[in-house]
């Protein structure tokens, strides 16, 4: 089928490349001409496993194209997907100006029946607003349908998540649109859930908020484990084996970050407050636990080292999760900022996040190492802030030989506590002993 994706960010690019991979003809639109040129040459402005290969293969096969013209995309395609940013405002509401702008551009370009599909994460009833804008700006009264098709891909495993999704949600009241959407997703063997537009929009916020809730839940359980010499990993396994609960998103750590969970939890709280006139107390608590988790972790470092000022501390990991170069709302970055503000000389290393981090600490004493071992050189403590697989294969004997004092603070429960202690480290983690 002929598809158009507006917005060549993480979601737009991955979706476009995966649609092309299963045989659709895809045109990706972005208003940044430099980005369009870069993408057309098969290069991507972000790190996402498998994405560059997928892009090159489908560009070469002439199934994937790039342009800066919304009109060109609308003319060439039966279905138009929106994957544009929906940032958070200071009051917890979502800034929909990008969506509104794009819809205003689509409306006059509609020459024949088109389906406009929203993939961006938006508050419930945004579909209704989109339809209203199109009606207002579509002088020819061309037929169209609005569909909500929320995205569940995770950065770092976005291609796999898109090609092999747990489910596909299609929200629409039009049988014509639903039939076309079914055809688009036919090559993906995943359960389809057909709903109305409002329910589909709500599914996204409810899903992300629930996953964030699981993380805050286990982070609080971790604190209780620590007070009782219990092991949070074992507790998570024990409850996660119950199929009604599931083991996913029960890894304790220094808290969730990134461009989705903090934003979506805040939005869901704001939606509840606006529409029901009362706060979503449960989610407020989820936020509170997440907001205090880093301080809880830092207090372990303070407790063990006593004085932080002037200490040399290595930090492994800067990205908000492994397998990405994304440092937006990264708890690891917040951690480095806190250490710097306390006078620590920080030596950082991240497999993919160095480039984007450099400008953050250009005017500080922070040092940027080119390997995990270089980062620990002369350090008195090592902090693990992101659970990159690469860190598990670093030789701890070598780490110890390079350090001046032997403390490890493992904020992601990455290492085996008894192994770290066998090497002579004072090892601290989250909810394990
Ligand atoms: C999240 C959702 O998982 C996706 O389903 C959704 O499509 C996406 O948001 C979105 O709304 O676009 P993402 O933010 O890319 O995906 O990454 P996650 O893997 O969900 O991780 C989010 C944060 O939670 C990270 O900081 C991670 O370290 C943390 N986390 C995750 C934990 O602390 N513990 C866990 O057990 C799992």
Instruction: Render pLDDT for 70-101 as a digit per residue (tens, 0 to 9).
Output: 999 999 999 999 999 999 998 878 999 999 99
DSSP strand pairing (2-6 vs 168-171): unpaired
The finding on whether 251 has its CB within 6 A of some atom of ligand 1 is: yes
Instruction: Render pLDDT for 228-245 as a digit per residue (tens, 0 to 9).
Output: 999 999 999 999 999 999
Res 381: pLDDT: 98
Q: What is the dihedral of CA 301, 306, 309, 310, to 10 degrees?
A: -90
Quote the ligand 1 centre to 154 CA distance (angstroms): 6
- What six digits make up the tokens of 431? 């909810």
Res 92: pLDDT: 78
Lowest mean pLDDT among 39-43, 216-220, 262-266, 315-319: 39-43
Res 274: pLDDT: 93
Instruction: Render pLDDT for 386-418 as a digit per residue (tens, 0 to 9).
Output: 999 999 999 999 999 999 999 999 999 999 999
pLDDT at 287 over 90: yes
Counting ligand 1 atoms within 8 A of each CB, the residue from 256, 325, 411 with the most, and so the one to mutate, is 256
Counting ligand 1 atoms within 8 A of each CB, the residue from 88, 169, 258 with the most, and so the one to mutate, is 258
Quote the ligand 1 centre to 139 CA distance (angstroms): 42
Cα angle, residue 361 at apex, residues 294 and 377 outer, rounded to 5°: 80
Quote the ligand 1 centre to 416 CA distance (angstroms): 23
Report which ligand 1 atom has the smallest distance to the Cα of 257.
26
Q: Distances from the Cα of 99 to the Cαs of 44, 103, 194, 365, 371, in angstroms?
A: 23, 6, 23, 41, 41
The Cα–Cα gap between 27 and 152 comes to 21
Contact 232, 413 (CB under 8 A): yes
The finding on whether 215 has its CB within 6 A of some atom of ligand 1 is: yes
Q: End-to-end distance of the chain based on CA atoms, in angstroms? A: 55
Strand partners, 81: 5, 117
Quote the ligand 1 centre to 286 CA distance (angstroms): 14
> Exposed/middle/buried for 202, CB within 10 Å: 0-12, 13-18, 19+?
buried
The Cα–Cα gap between 377 and 362 comes to 20
Q: What rounded mean pLDDT belongs to the chain?
A: 97
Residue whose CA lies nearest to ligand 1 atom number 8: 154
Instruction: Render pLDDT for 171-195 as a digit per residue (tens, 0 to 9).
Output: 999 999 999 999 999 999 899 999 9
Average pLDDT score over residue span 140-165: 96
Instruction: Render pLDDT for 199-224 as a digit per residue (tens, 0 to 9).
Output: 999 999 999 999 999 999 999 999 99
Q: Which of 4, 18, 225, 260 is catalytic?
A: 260
pLDDT band at 339 (very low <50, low <70, confident <90, very high): very high
Counting ligand 1 atoms within 8 A of each CB, the residue from 7, 86, 88, 155 with the most, and so the one to mutate, is 155
Contact 173, 141 (CB under 8 A): no
Res 289: pLDDT: 98
Residue whose CA lies nearest to ligand 1 atom number 35: 249
Contact 312, 347 (CB under 8 A): yes
Rounded to a whole number of angstroms, the CA Rg of the chain reads: 24
The backbone torsions φ and ψ at residue 409, rounded to the nearest 5 degrees and listed phi first, read -115, 105
- 381 CA to centre of own chain: 29
Res 13: pLDDT: 97
The Cα–Cα gap between 255 and 411 comes to 9
Instruction: Render pLDDT for 11-45 as a digit per residue (tens, 0 to 9).
Output: 999 999 999 999 999 999 999 999 999 999 989 99
Known catalytic residue: 260?
yes
Res 91: pLDDT: 83
Average pLDDT score over residue span 288-301: 98
C-alpha dihedral sign at 20, 119, 31, 92? negative
The finding on whether 325 has its CB within 6 A of some atom of ligand 1 is: no
Quote the ligand 1 centre to 261 CA distance (angstroms): 7
Res 357: pLDDT: 94
Res 325: pLDDT: 97
The finding on whether 258 has its CB within 6 A of some atom of ligand 1 is: yes
The Cα–Cα gap between 348 and 129 comes to 45
Length of the chain as a residue count:
433
The finding on whether 293 has its CB within 6 A of some atom of ligand 1 is: no
The finding on whether 150 has its CB within 6 A of some atom of ligand 1 is: no
The finding on whether 262 has its CB within 6 A of some atom of ligand 1 is: no
Q: What is the dihedral of CA 152, 285, 409, 316, to 10 degrees?
A: 30
The finding on whether 253 has its CB within 6 A of some atom of ligand 1 is: yes
């Amino acid at each position: 089928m002929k598809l158009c994706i507006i917005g060549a960010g993480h979601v737009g690019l991955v979706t476009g490349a995966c649609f092309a991979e299963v045989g659709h003809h895809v045109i990706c639109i972005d208003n940044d001409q430099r980005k369009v040129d870069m993408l057309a040459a098969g290069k991507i402005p972000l790190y996402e496993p498998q994405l560059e290969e997928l892009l090159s293969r489908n560009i070469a096969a002439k199934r994937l194209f790039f342009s800066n013209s919304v009109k060109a995309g609308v003319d060439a395609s039966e279905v138009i997907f929106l994957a544009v940013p929906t940032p958070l405002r200071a009051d917890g509401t979502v800034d929909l100006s990008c969506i509104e702008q794009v819809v205003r551009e689509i409306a006059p370009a509609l020459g024949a029946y088109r389906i406009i599909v929203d993939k961006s994460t938006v508050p419930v009833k945004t579909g209704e607003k989109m339809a209203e804008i199109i009606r207002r700006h579509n002088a020819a009264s061309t037929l169209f349908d609005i569909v909500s098709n929320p995205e569940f891909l995770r950065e770092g495993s976005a291609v796999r998540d898109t090609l092999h999704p747990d489910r596909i949600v299609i929200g629409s009241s039009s049988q014509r649109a639903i039939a076309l959407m079914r055809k688009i997703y036919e090559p993906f063997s995943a359960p389809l859930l057909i709903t109305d537009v409002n329910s589909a929009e709500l599914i996204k916020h409810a899903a992300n908020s629930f996953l964030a809730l699981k993380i805050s839940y286990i982070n609080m359980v971790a604190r209780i484990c620590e007070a009782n010499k219990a092991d949070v990993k074992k507790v998570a396994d024990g409850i996660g084996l119950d199929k009604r609960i599931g083991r996913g998103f029960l890894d304790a750590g220094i808290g969730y970050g990134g461009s989705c969970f903090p934003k979506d939890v805040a939005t869901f709280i704001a939606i509840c407050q606006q529409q029901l006139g009362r706060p979503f107390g449960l989610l407020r608590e989820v936020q509170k636990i997440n907001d205090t988790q880093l301080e809880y972790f830092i207090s372990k470092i303070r407790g063990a080292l006593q004085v932080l000022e002037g200490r040399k501390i290595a930090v492994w990991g800067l990205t908000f999760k492994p397998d990405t170069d994304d440092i937006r709302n990264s708890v690891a970055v917040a951690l480095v900022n806190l250490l710097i503000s306390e006078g620590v000389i920080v030596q950082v290393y991240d497999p993919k996040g160095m480039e984007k981090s450099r400008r953050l600490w250009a005017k500080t004493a922070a040092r940027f190492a080119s390997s995990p071992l270089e980062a620990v050189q002369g350090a008195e403590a090592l902090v693990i802030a992101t659970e990159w697989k690469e860190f598990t294969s670093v030789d701890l004997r070598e780490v110890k030989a390079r350090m001046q004092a032997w403390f490890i603070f493992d904020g992601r429960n990455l290492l085996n506590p008894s192994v770290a202690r066998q090497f002579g480290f004072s090892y601290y983690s989250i909810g394990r002993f």
